[in-house]
Structure 1
Amino acid sequence: MFHPQIIGEALAGLSPQARAANESWARPIIATRNLLVHHYFRIDLEIIYEIAKNRLDDLETQVRAALRALPEE
């Protein structure tokens, strides 16, 4: 299941350093989350559908790479 609100919230909660390292792909997801949560009357369902249908594999790859790059605690 695709939950852009949760993904965007998680990315927004990253440290500034981790977010900066993933800025190119994280910023649009955070912006999409903010749109869905705060400006839902401006949502273009075709765009959300396109993201869910065509871009989740790329997102998964980027998230997995970002997780591998995080320091272990």
Structure 2
Amino acid sequence: MKGLVIIYSDEGLDKLDAISMRLQSIGEALRNLYKRETELLLQISDKDYWSQIIKTRDFISHHYVDIDSETIYDICANELEELEEKILLIKNKF
């Protein structure tokens, strides 16, 4: 239910916007890295993992009005820790 609460105030909407834009930026950076360093990313995780992140970026970029706050909340609550670990692995390989 927390995901629903976020959109019912100006502050909540501002947070949703900010988080969405950060996720979009992360996805954009990974999309560009994937184009240049595919093999490196595939050493860290499979193609489907990176594809889901890039698709999330595309959705945020092109369908912003359709963003579901619960989905954004779920990403933050359940996916960011794993992503951070993988990004640190990438960083350590450079």
Q: Percent identity?
A: 34
Q: Mark the structure with the bigger radius of gyration.
A: 2
2:33 is the alignment partner of 1:11:
no
CA-to-aligned-CA distance 1:1-58 (integer Å, 9 cap, x gap): 8411110000011113334444242211111111001111332211111111222111
User: What is the number of residues matched between the two proteins?
Assistant: 70
Higher helix share: 2
2:68 corresponds in structure 1 to: 44
What are the ranges of 5 or more consecutive residues in structure 1 without an aligned counterpart? none
- Equivalent residues of 2:41, 2:90 under 8 A apart: no
Relative contact order, higher structure (CA 8 A, sep 6+): 2
Compute the TM-score of the two structures, normalised by the length of structure 2: 0.61
What are the ranges of 5 or more consecutive residues in structure 2 without an aligned counterpart? 1-17
What is the rounded CA distance, in whole Å, between the counterparts of 1:68 and 1:24 in structure 2? 22
